Structure 1
Amino acid sequence: MTLLAVAFFALMALGVPIAFAIGIAGFTFFATGEFIPMSIGVQQVASASQSFPLLAVPFFVLAGHMMNRTGITHRLIACSNVLVSWMAGGLAQVCIVLSTLMGGVSGSAVADAAMEARILGPGLIRAGYSRGFTCSVIAVGSLITATIPPSLGLILYGFVGNVSIGRLFLAGVIPGLLMMTGLMLTTWFIARRRGYRAGSVERPTAKAVWAAVVDAKWALLFPVALLVAIRGGLFTPSEVGAFAVVYAALVGFFLHRELTLGSVLEALTEAVTDTGLIMLIILFSGMVGYAIVFEQAPQSIAAALADLTREPVLVVALILIFLFLAGLFVESTVLVLLLTPIFLPIVAPLGVDPVHFGILMMTIVTLGSMTPPVGVAMYTVCSLLDCPVEEYIVESLPFVGTVLALVALLTLWPGLVLFLPNALM
């Protein structure tokens, strides 16, 4: 197990792609083991693909790419602008609300951050917002996508941990809305102190709000339709992914009439690329998962934690601290696939709900995409808006602090996470 870990981090340091770093490190475990034939490793790679719930991943990836070509994005921007642009720091508030609404469409924090950086970022900078503040609002705000359904991270967590994806989707709604509120308050305080003006002078009328909501209704109804379909037993989470693709096609072709065959082919091409990358990581992580179970890593870590404390809240807090530190260096998808089999068997016997733990885990590991030294969303936004990383780091501290405070709140009051799944399922 030690050799596997050393090989993985050495390959990462050499710049080997994550999927191959996991695969090569996993093969070292089987190649150097005396009692485990190499064929077992190959079987683990194959068996990792034999999962019906895993079908949800390519479907939701394709649906997200198609949604971005149906005219939904600019309708959501217009809706967000009407709702919150009158507040202090109005344009920045639009970014946060848009991340919440886009979370129900894209399912990817990095994709959401890149889109907002291209479309809204230049406008914020022209309006007098600093580059660091602009990048921080966009990058950290995209974290809301990690919990608002359909989150790809929650699908992977449910797949690896054998946790109900429907309950995870429902559980992510309230934390996502709380995160939106917290980040909006943080933006408001900073904007008031710096004198960042509102985007519009007057508050919107009820008529203007209703018109904007009606114009964006098909995007706003999408996550609601997913949750109703799962709760009503109409579809399994995998089948809901297929429904999402059909929904995107119907909206694009017949309702908005902005989707073309050419844009569908572009969406398919991008979806195949993204799915291929995700699936490579999933398949190769099957070997690592087997090694973790074979070496009894969960039991060893659980025993070490038990020596420190037996209080469930403290155990979860220690795990979240470790996940936060790990997220600074390793991509969130990898952490979910590799660490869920380790930590879920530790917290479940302590009475911690796997759904509650999944929301906490996804929030913390996805936060790593917005923090140095290897934050993908951070580098994407900073490069698109020509912002020094040093400036971003300083400006992002209040937003990261807000997210960590929310995670602490959700840890102490699991009812905030479990209210909807317990009430509806």
Structure 2
Amino acid sequence: MIIVAAAFVVFMLIGMPLAFAIGISGALFFLQHPELPFTIPVQVTVSQTQNFALLAIPLFILAGNLMNHAGVSERLLNLASVLTGRLSGGLAQVSLALSALMGGVSGSAIADAAMQARMLGDEMSQRGLPRPFAAAVLSFGAILTPIIPPGIGMILYGTIGQVSIGRLFAAGILPALCLWLALSVAVWLVSRRHGYPPEREYPLSWKARGAALRSGIWALLFPVLLLFGLRMGVFTPSEIGAFAVVYALFLGLVIYRCLSVQGFGDALKGSLIDVGAVVFLIALSAVFSYGIVFERVPETIAQAILGLTDNLQLVMIMVVVLVIAVGFFIDATVLIIMLTPIFLPLIRQLDGDPVHFGMVFIIAATIGNFTPPVGAAMYAVCSIMKVSVGAYARSSIPLLTAVALATLLLIFVPELVLFIPNLLFR
């Protein structure tokens, strides 16, 4: 596997698309083992796409794109402004609230960061926030998106690791609130230190608050209905993706009446591109994963880590540090696909809860989207905001610290992750 890993790194450094880098480097494993039939890479690639649970991914991607064209974003922005407009930091606090509210809608951290940068970036700058700090907030706020149901990372992790997707959906709620609180406090401290003003000085009337809540309530019901449908057995994880598409059409055509023919076409086109990229990546990852299992890499890593400590919390911290380090160079989706079969057996060996580990693991894998040198969300926001990566990186230090502290809290207080899943799925 050393040659395979080295080839993967080289392919990444020369800029090869991730799916091809994974597939080609994985195929090199079979050249090293001529005793294995070379039909296996084809078989595992095809069989990987036949997993019925993965049907939820294209459906949720389509639902998210439909909602973004259905007028949901504007209404949630209004509600976010009502909730946090008086806090120090102004639109920076509003953007964090919007990320929390949009998590169950977009499902993609990169898409959420780019969308908010277009919606709020210039306005934040005009209201006194430095552009690097505004870019950092817009980028890091999107870390909430993958862990609020229905995050695509949860579906991948649950499918690969044979973990209940319903429990993973439920487990994301409290950690998302913890991350929101940590980021909000970090923004508040920075804003107080530098004198960044709130969006408004005076509270809105109760009538205005009620109107904002009524306008956004249908979007807020989305993750609630997902969990309710799974808990009551109305839907399987795959079927609930179809419900999400129907619900998005219902919002766009009946409730908000903002989904035009052109918007529907744009949603289909965007979904086709997103689904093609994700499914192609999943399919070719099977070639790479075959060599990992064949060479017993998970057992080797487990023995090495257990040789240092058998304390579950310390092991989780070591895994998080490793995942964050690798995530500086590799996309979060790839990390979840590649590392779940390696680390989840180790956590199970230590009697750790796979749902608890899954939340911490997904958060750690997502951090790389917002950090140099290859953070996709970071580059998207910096490009839109016209901010240098160096200035962005300096401004993001308080936010990265807040995320790290929140992740440590989740490691040592698993009840924050498991309370709602244990309450709903007994």
TM-score, shorter chain, exceeding 0.5: yes
1:166–1:230 Cα contact (<8 Å) kept: yes
The equivalent residue for 2:398 is: 398
Give the superposition deviation at 1:37.
1.1
Give the aligned residue type for 2:207: K
The equivalent residue for 1:202 is: 202
The equivalent residue for 2:245 is: 245
SS at match of 2:105: coil
Deviates more, 1:367-376 or 1:219-228: 219-228
CA distance in 2, matches of 1:203, 1:183: 23
Work out whether 1:153 is the aligned partner of 2:168. Answer: no
Q: Taking every aligned residue pair, what percent have the same amino acid on both sides?
A: 45
CA distance in 1, matches of 2:255, 2:348: 46
Give the superposition deviation at 1:57.
0.4
CA distance in 1, matches of 2:354, 2:315: 14
The equivalent residue for 2:367 is: 367
The equivalent residue for 2:182 is: 182
Give the aligned residue type for 1:264: F
CA distance in 2, matches of 1:69, 1:178: 29
The equivalent residue for 2:268 is: 268
SS at match of 1:237: coil
SS at match of 1:313: helix
CA distance in 2, matches of 1:42, 1:116: 40
SS at match of 1:104: helix
- Give unmatched runs, 5+ long, in structure 1: none
CA distance in 2, matches of 1:19, 1:57: 17
Give the superposition deviation at 1:260.
1.9
CA distance in 2, matches of 1:409, 1:179: 10
CA distance in 2, matches of 1:418, 1:359: 10
The equivalent residue for 1:337 is: 337
CA distance in 2, matches of 1:223, 1:393: 33
The equivalent residue for 1:319 is: 319
List structure 1 segments (4+ residues) > 6 angstroms apart after TM superposition. none
CA distance in 2, matches of 1:236, 1:109: 25
Give the superposition deviation at 1:232.
1.2
Give the superposition deviation at 1:424.
0.8
SS at match of 1:308: coil
CA distance in 2, matches of 1:388, 1:322: 27
Give the superposition deviation at 1:261.
2.3
CA distance in 1, matches of 2:285, 2:213: 42
CA distance in 1, matches of 2:206, 2:406: 31
1:8–1:25 Cα contact (<8 Å) kept: yes
The equivalent residue for 1:416 is: 416
CA distance in 1, matches of 2:88, 2:409: 26
- Map 1:126-165 → 2, pairs under 5 A: 126-165=126-165
Give the superposition deviation at 1:194.
0.8
- Give unmatched runs, 5+ long, in structure 2: none
Give the superposition deviation at 1:243.
0.3
The CA deviation string for residues 192-237 of structure 1, in whole angstroms up to 9 with x for no partner, is 1111111112022333222101011111111111111111111011
The equivalent residue for 1:105 is: 105
The equivalent residue for 1:309 is: 309
CA distance in 2, matches of 1:338, 1:240: 26
SS at match of 2:258: coil
Work out whether 1:286 is the aligned partner of 2:286. Answer: yes
Give the superposition deviation at 1:32.
2.3
1:107–1:145 Cα contact (<8 Å) kept: yes
Structure 1 length-normalised TM? 0.99
SS at match of 1:149: coil
The equivalent residue for 1:193 is: 193
The equivalent residue for 1:26 is: 26
SS at match of 2:285: helix
Give the superposition deviation at 1:104.
1.0
CA distance in 2, matches of 1:387, 1:261: 35
CA distance in 1, matches of 2:394, 2:262: 43
Give the superposition deviation at 1:309.
0.9
Work out whether 1:354 is the aligned partner of 2:361. Answer: no
CA distance in 1, matches of 2:79, 2:415: 31
SS at match of 2:15: coil
The equivalent residue for 2:9 is: 9
Give the aligned residue type for 2:135: C
SS at match of 1:344: helix
CA distance in 1, matches of 2:279, 2:286: 11
Give the aligned residue type for 1:79: L
Give the aligned residue type for 1:45: T
Give the aligned residue type for 2:125: I
CA distance in 1, matches of 2:206, 2:308: 56
- Map 1:215-226 → 2, pairs under 5 A: 215-226=215-226
CA distance in 1, matches of 2:406, 2:224: 24
How many residue pairs match? The answer is 425
CA distance in 1, matches of 2:196, 2:82: 18
Give the superposition deviation at 1:99.
0.2
1:83–1:204 Cα contact (<8 Å) kept: no
